[in-house]
Amino acid sequence: MQPPISHYKDEDPGQTQAILNQELEKEVSELKHQKKTTEQGKEEESTSTPELKVLPVKKSEAKATNASNIVNAFRQKMANVATPIDLPSAGITVEFKEISTHEQKELSKVALQSNSRADIMYCAMISLINELAVDKKFDIRDYTEFERIQVILNLQQMNKMNPEIKYTCSQCGKENSYRLDTMKLLRNFTKTYKPDNEFIIETGGGRKFNVVAGWPSCRLVEEFFKHYFKRYDNQSKPMKESMDNMSQIEYMLMFMKSISVVDGSDPSDVLTANLEDLTYGERCQIVDSLPQNIMFDEDTGVISQIIKSYIEPINKVFKYADCPFCGAEQEGQVANLSDFMGG
């Protein structure tokens, strides 16, 4: 920029012009330098690879409709409803959810498709009990058959399930039915509880058998059913009918918890088998090696002792109504999925 002329009025005009030319050249040189620097910067910027920034992508979520909100709210509400069930024999109280309509439908499918297969129905009932337990660490397999039946009856009572039980009279062959009174069953069944019971069977030669009997664990019974029906599936119809009868005996043998053999000539010579610690196959081998009279004597045998102590009391609880056609008394079975569903 040119300075005011008044600044140079007393000076030499030639000298003034020279000064102006120098300053003008200086300004032009500075402008050229700035332009060159700017162009070099743009060139470097165009040749260099720009750094890419990864920006988080926010997923778009479909908004739930009013209908789906209502469905989820209902499902959550129903899932939070629980009822405590006391199991005095085990010394615990467990909370259980009510049976949903969906679970009821699934049970109906199992009952229909299983064709009264005891193993399938038993496993289905075990799964149902564990599914309904609020505490997911709870496993009914860790408890006995007594607790399992008690839970089933409580669930029936909770869900107001008093199904019609159909049966065939063993005397006249007529088809009958009766209405299950779960409250009465639950009350009477609870009274039948009996802890482990030890009894002694003596034989000739002074030899003694000490047998401890008690309610078997559900895990043991489940294992029994699975092994038993592996053999059952591959048999002919006559053999299956025979095995159906034998299954009741094998079920009762699971009430054997331990057996000790005491030699009469030497009381210190004792051999004990804790059957609960053995596999299914090992249990069968131990039982099969015992004398027939020890197992099946009508008065003192192991089977008769188990029937008197455990089976008869619960059969009386689950007794069918007397046949309306011939008056014969009908005995029921331990509550299973068929009874639970009214089969």
Give the model's pLDDT for residue 317: 84
Give the model's pLDDT for residue 343: 40
> Which range in 219-233, 256-270, 294-308 is most confidently predicted, on average pLDDT?
294-308
Q: Which two tokens stand for residue 212?
A: 């401890």
Mention every residue, 6+ apart, whose C-beta is less than 8 A from residue 280: 223, 224, 227
Give the model's pLDDT for residue 327: 86
* CB environment 5-39: b (16+ within 10 A), e (fewer): eeeeeeeeeeeeeeeeeeeeeeeeeeeeeeeeeee
Q: Are 307 and 174 in contact (CB under 8 A)?
A: no
235-247, pLDDT tens digit by residue? 777 776 666 666 7
Give the model's pLDDT for residue 342: 44
Mean pLDDT value across residues 11-23: 58
196 pLDDT more than 50: yes
Higher per-residue confidence, 234 vs 155: 155
Beta-carbon-side half-sphere exposure of residue 340 (alpha carbons within 13 Å): 32
CA-based end-to-end distance of the chain = 111
Q: Which two tokens stand for residue 27?
A: 């300004």
Higher per-residue confidence, 168 vs 45: 168
As to burial, measured by CB atoms within 10 angstroms (0-12 exposed, 13-18 middle, 19+ buried), residue 188 is middle
What 3-state class would DSSP assign to 175?
Answer: strand
**Distance of alpha carbon 50 from its chain centroid, rounded?**
57
112-124, pLDDT tens digit by residue? 887 767 778 888 8
Give the model's pLDDT for residue 145: 93
* Strand ranges (E), the chain: 82-87, 92-97, 164-168, 175-179, 197-202, 208-213, 256-262, 270-274
Task: Delineate the domains of the chain, giving CATH numbers in brackets.
Answer: 78-187 (3.30.2220), 193-323 (no CATH)
Q: DSSP for 107-129, please give it.
A: HHHHHHHHTT-HHHHHHHHHHHH
Query: Which residue in the block uniquely carries the two structure tokens 């019971």?
Result: 197
89 pLDDT more than 60: yes
Higher per-residue confidence, 77 vs 103: 103
Percent of the chain with pLDDT over 90: 29
Give the model's pLDDT for residue 341: 46
Give the model's pLDDT for residue 302: 93
Query: Which residue in the block uniquely carries the two structure tokens 């120098």?
Result: 22
Give the model's pLDDT for residue 315: 82
Neighbours of 225 (CB within 10 A): 22
Mean pLDDT value across residues 267-274: 89
Give the model's pLDDT for residue 66: 72
d(CA 168, CA 280): 33
5 pLDDT more than 50: no
69 pLDDT more than 50: yes
Q: Are 163 and 180 in contact (CB under 8 A)?
A: yes
Query: Which residue in the block uniquely carries the two structure tokens 């009741």?
Result: 248
218 pLDDT more than 90: yes
Q: Which of 198, 145, 151, 201 is nearest to 333 (CA)?
A: 145
